[in-house]
Amino acid sequence: MEEKNKRETFSTGFAVFFATLGSAVGLGNIWKFPYLIGTNGGGAFLLVYLLCVVLVGIPIMSCEFYIGRKSRKNAVGAFKKLNASKGWKTIGFMGVASAFLIAFFYSSVAGWVYSYVFKAIKGDFAGVTLVTANTKFMSTLVGPLSPIVWQFIVLCVVSIILIAGVKNGIERITKTLMPVLFILILICDVRALTLPGASQGLKFLFHVDFTQLTGPVILAALGLAFFKLSLGMGTMLTYGSYFTQSNNMIATSAKVALSDSLISILAGIAIFPAVFSFGLTPSEGPGLLFKTIPLVFSKIPFGSVLLVAFFFLTAIAATTAMISMIEVPVAYFTEEKGIGRKNAVLLTTSIMMVVGILATLSAHPTSVLGNIHILGQRGFFDSFDFISSNILLPIGGLLIAIYVGYFVKKEDFKLELSNQGTLNNDLVLNIIYIFIKFISPCLLIIVFFNSIGIIKL
């Protein structure tokens, strides 16, 4: 086989953890998680979310790791290598399609974050008010030229990292950036907790009021748990194919899921005490990160420095998530189509840039393409999000659970995840297998049926 198509692997279990954590940690932690907490009642939502991580997140992640390492192939080639019938390759193609669709709009949001790092460094938020914060966000959102430029910059940064390869690119960057992200978020937490009235924010985040738990809230928590852990889109399957043979995949699944949840909670601790301290509303919605945070940091000592740190850590999260997302089609193109890695990266990111512009120019009703609807009342941005998050991801996760639970021999599954019997984890594997076979599929079916309107909770 040509050198350009030689398959790399991560070098150590340490590298495996940071790479997979980098895939799971993204804008969902720092952008989506806080505003969903804010709009769904705080602590009750958080409790259900953590339960969903255990019941669905860890089991499905373990399935993807199993398929990836067992086959040592990309999302499509994995099922062919495992001698699955041809129809199962559909899961892989859905993963590749999901990665493209998510990247179309995700690269746009990542571009907003990159632009806010630049604005924070320039000092654009000095003396900002709620009105000017909203104006700056709208100019970032609507553009039209600026958001396209920043989207292009995001894709260029990610392309450079991916062209360097698995060890020199993905592994090196995630091993460096994940600890930096953790340190920065802790610094922001410490400052937020020293603000007057910070206890109100903590109460909002952690107080459990079960009267807030409605059907939509529970489904939102389940959907977020699935989306945030990068499941159903082929990323964990692809990364699993780069694992070392000695890696403990169940332990990695649990550590990644719990670490990802911890970072989400730390993001909430950085945001909500500050929001309550200055009398702002936690239910701001998607604009919480971009409108409220600059206003909050502008009012505290050393706020300009902390604001740069906060948006830099958000940019790190966006970048590592984009890396894993784009690696899915890159691995497919290199292994199934025989395209060299550099050309596969450039082809993938070029497609994402061309189509992603449609999302960027339709992110708001006043955007250039904001009045064009392609899916009911949804524009390009919302349609890409809806199709991937509400249809392809839950179906992909459901099919993965069905494949492993009903078409893979239990003994084979346990043998691979026990590292050929060298790990003493039989009890845990039996519990995980019950989740895979019965609980996770039922929950994913409910999420899917609700998302397409067949059932309403």
Tens digits of per-residue pLDDT, 412-446?
A: 999 999 999 999 999 999 999 999 999 999 999 98
Work out whether the CA dihedral 138, 140, 145, 148 comes out positive or negative: negative
Q: What is the CATH number of the domain that holds 151?
A: 1.10.4160.10
Query: For residue 296, is it within any domain?
Result: yes
pLDDT digits (tens, 9 = 90+) for 245-278: 999 999 999 999 999 999 989 988 888 888 888 7
Would the pLDDT of 60 be above 80? yes
Comparing 421 with 208, the larger pLDDT belongs to 421
Question: Among 15-24, 56-65, 356-365, whose mean pLDDT is lowest?
Answer: 15-24
pLDDT digits (tens, 9 = 90+) for 193-204: 988 888 988 988
Is the separation of the CB atoms in 288 and 217 below 8 Å?
Answer: no
Question: Among 119-123, 131-135, 239-243, whose mean pLDDT is lowest?
Answer: 131-135
| Residue 48: domain span | 3-451
The mean per-residue pLDDT over the stretch 274-298 comes to: 76
DSSP, residue by residue, 211-278? GG--HHHHHHHHHHHHHHTT-SSSHHHHHHTT--TT--HHHHHHHHHHHHHHHHHHHHHHHHHHHHHT
Would the pLDDT of 452 be above 90? no
Would the pLDDT of 285 be above 70? no
Work out whether the CA dihedral 406, 409, 410, 412 comes out positive or negative: negative
CA 392 to chain centre: 15
Exposure of 357 in the CB half-sphere (CA atoms within 13 A):
11
Is the separation of the CB atoms in 434 and 414 below 8 Å?
Answer: no
Q: What are phi and psi of 306, to 5 degrees?
A: -65, -35
CA–CA gap between residue 334 and residue 418 (Å, rounded): 30
CA–CA gap between residue 308 and residue 451 (Å, rounded): 37
pLDDT digits (tens, 9 = 90+) for 353-387: 999 999 999 999 999 999 999 988 899 999 999 89
Give the pLDDT confidence score for residue 453 in this predicted structure: 77
Which residues on adjacent β-strands are paired with residue 375?
378
Give the pLDDT confidence score for residue 286 in this predicted structure: 62
Is the separation of the CB atoms in 239 and 67 below 8 Å?
Answer: no
Q: Which long-range contacts (CB under 8 A, 24 or more apart) does 274-279 make?
A: 274/192, 274/195, 274/198, 274/201, 274/300, 275/201, 276/197, 276/198, 276/200, 276/201, 276/204, 277/192, 277/195, 277/196, 277/197, 277/198, 277/200, 277/201
Give the pLDDT confidence score for residue 457 in this predicted structure: 63
Would the pLDDT of 65 be above 70? yes
CA–CA gap between residue 84 and residue 404 (Å, rounded): 11
Would the pLDDT of 5 be above 50? no
Is the separation of the CB atoms in 443 and 52 below 8 Å?
Answer: yes
Give the pLDDT confidence score for residue 270 in this predicted structure: 85
Query: For residue 456, is it within any domain?
Result: no
What is the DSSP code (8-state) at residue 378?
A: B
Comparing 29 with 403, the larger pLDDT belongs to 403
Work out whether the CA dihedral 125, 129, 134, 138 comes out positive or negative: negative
Q: Among 269-283, 290-304, 307-321, 346-360, which range has the highest average pLDDT?
A: 346-360
Query: For residue 207, is it within any domain?
Result: yes
The mean per-residue pLDDT over the stretch 325-354 comes to: 97
Query: For residue 396, is it within any domain?
Result: yes
The mean per-residue pLDDT over the stretch 229-238 comes to: 92
Would the pLDDT of 2 be above 70? no
CA–CA gap between residue 203 and residue 44 (Å, rounded): 11
Would the pLDDT of 4 be above 60? no
The mean per-residue pLDDT over the stretch 136-146 comes to: 89
Query: For residue 457, is it within any domain?
Result: no
Question: Among 206-215, 406-415, 441-450, whose mean pLDDT is lowest?
Answer: 206-215
Helices (DSSP H) in 241-379: which residue ranges?
A: 249-277, 293-297, 303-336, 341-360
Q: Give residue 321's pLDDT band: very low, low, confident or very high (50, 70, 90).
A: very high
Q: What percentage of the chain has pLDDT greater than the value 70?
A: 97
pLDDT digits (tens, 9 = 90+) for 168-190: 999 999 999 999 988 988 988 88
Which residues on adjacent β-strands are paired with residue 378?
375
| Domains identified in the chain, total number | 1
Tokens of 252: 């990695």
Query: For residue 113, is it within any domain?
Result: yes
Residue type, 228: K
Would the pLDDT of 107 be above 80? yes
End-to-end Cα separation, the chain, in angstroms? 53
Give the pLDDT confidence score for residue 445 in this predicted structure: 92
What is the DSSP code (8-state) at residue 422?
A: T
Average pLDDT for the chain = 90
Of the candidates 221, 218, 223, the one whose C-alpha atom is nearest the C-alpha of residue 451 is 223
Q: Give residue 6's pLDDT band: very low, low, confident or very high (50, 70, 90).
A: low
Would the pLDDT of 1 be above 50? no
Residue type, 441: P
Q: Give residue 289's pLDDT band: very low, low, confident or very high (50, 70, 90).
A: confident
The mean per-residue pLDDT over the stretch 404-418 comes to: 96
Helix (H, G, I), strand (E, B) or coil at 26: coil
Q: What are phi and psi of 126, to 5 degrees?
A: -65, 125
Of the candidates 10, 29, 128, 25, the one whose C-alpha atom is nearest the C-alpha of residue 69 is 10
Q: What percentage of the chain has pLDDT greater than the value 90?
A: 58
Alpha carbon dihedral 207, 213, 217, 222, in 10-degree steps, equals 80
